[in-house]
Amino acid sequence: MKKRNSYKFYSLLLIFCLAIGGITYSCGPSGGGGKNGTPPPPVAYWNNNTPKVNGDSAYAFVKKQVDFGPRVPNSEAHVKCGDYFLEQFKAYGWKVEAQSFKAKRYDDVELDSRNIIASYKAPNATRTILLAAHWDARFVADKDSTDTKKPIDGANDGASGVAVLMELARTVSQAKVKPTVNIDIVLFDSEDQGYPNFIKEQTKQDTWCLGSQYWAKNNDTNYWYGILLDMVGAKGAKFYKEGYSVRTAKGVVNDLWQVAAKIGTNGYFIGLNSPEIVDDHVYVNKIKSVPMADIIEFDPNDPATYFAKYHHTHKDNIDIIDKETLKAVGQTVLQYVYNTFGSQEQADAFQKAAQEKAKPAAK
């Protein structure tokens, strides 16, 4: 789960927005962009050679993770699955690194954790983008009515975001046309080990997103922008413009949703805001000032809980995963990445060529 910020205020605002209807991102918890509000994708450029992602392959990556068992830190499944990621990204020709650390859980239990970092280098690129998801599974099913203290499969909450990123790495590795921008894929560990609902006294702050907190404090790369994927594989999922992303990465959010409209994945990407939530992008933004959009499922029928019914229950298993959803998210993100120039020189050259073309022909 991700705790919500000022949940009541934002959900009232959301209900208000929905009630008056027809208004999209001009209404909602948007501050219109902070210091990182409107960055990147500079010139309107569309890469027609963006390769196609494969939904079956993305689905297989979800299944593979689930088959290890719940990837809860300090478990064997967790170690094995982490090793699998390292091998897999390496096989795609990406540079891989495991950033090991001890995360301290809310109850002071030490979690042996690893952030998995896979890097793609584009020739002559000076810009690097960040694509991320969390890979750990929740250690309790604290929103379930049975087996509350057993870990969940986390097929959607954890495995789906990772699966889409693995599919992007695979697709790029096989593509004839490569991205022009450097890409770091970061799989954050220990995101979902925060306070269980059944613990009444919750005195500690920041008990979620331990991997991204550690990573952000120990990384000195300058990122052009970031995209976080969380719960991106459920059948019929809807992705609203998440409030914190809108406030701090408005340009990225709006451009991503425009890409979705253009490639026809806007049945998934809805042009309405959802309330703010705390997820890895918040720490990446606060600690490193990277404008980062969170693509995360929102249940509009239940804004009070934000999440769909399966969330943090044993229903979050392979049965709710749909390859079409995975594919829609993957293709939208990949198109956006391919539309991103790897350097200012490339952006300038494109703009210059466009201006030349627009000039009336000499008589």
Q: Which residues bind Zn ion (CB under 5 A)?
A: 157, 192
Closest distance of CB 40 from Zn ion, Å: 28
Closest distance of CB 138 from Zn ion, Å: 5
Instruction: Give the residue with the Cβ less far from Zn ion, 234 or 259.
Output: 234
- CA separation for the pair 213, 287 (Å, rounded): 8
Instruction: Give the residue with the Cβ less far from Zn ion, 71 or 170.
Output: 71
Instruction: Give the residue with the Cβ less far from Zn ion, 243 or 251.
Output: 243
Instruction: Give the residue with the Cβ less far from Zn ion, 192 or 242.
Output: 192
Print the SS3 string covering 197-212.
Answer: CCCCCCCCCCCCCHHH
Closest distance of CB 107 from Zn ion, Å: 18
- CA separation for the pair 293, 253 (Å, rounded): 6
Nearest to 168 by CA among 211, 134, 118, 215: 118
Instruction: Give the residue with the Cβ less far from Zn ion, 157 or 255.
Output: 157
DSSP state of 159: I
Closest distance of CB 310 from Zn ion, Å: 11
110: its two tokens: 């030490």
Closest distance of CB 14 from Zn ion, Å: 21
SS3 call for 187: strand
β-bridge partners, 184: 119, 130
Contact 163, 232 (CB under 8 A): no
Q: How far apart are the first and last CA of the chain?
A: 65
98: its two tokens: 């495991």
Q: Which helix (H) or strand (E) holds 102?
A: strand 95-104
Q: What DSSP letter does each residue of 247-293 carry, written as one string?
A: HH-HHHHHHHHHHHHHHT-TTTEEEEEE--B--HHHHHHHHH---EE
Nearest to 294 by CA among 359, 209, 179, 219: 209
Instruction: Give the residue with the Cβ less far from Zn ion, 157 or 167.
Output: 157
- CA separation for the pair 347, 296 (Å, rounded): 30
Closest distance of CB 333 from Zn ion, Å: 20
Instruction: Give the residue with the Cβ less far from Zn ion, 204 or 262.
Output: 204
Closest distance of CB 211 from Zn ion, Å: 13
Instruction: Give the residue with the Cβ less far from Zn ion, 140 or 181.
Output: 140
Closest distance of CB 282 from Zn ion, Å: 14
- CA separation for the pair 77, 83 (Å, rounded): 10
Closest distance of CB 238 from Zn ion, Å: 18
Phi and psi at residue 85, to the nearest 5°: -60, -45
- CA separation for the pair 326, 286 (Å, rounded): 28
Instruction: Give the residue with the Cβ less far from Zn ion, 183 or 277.
Output: 277
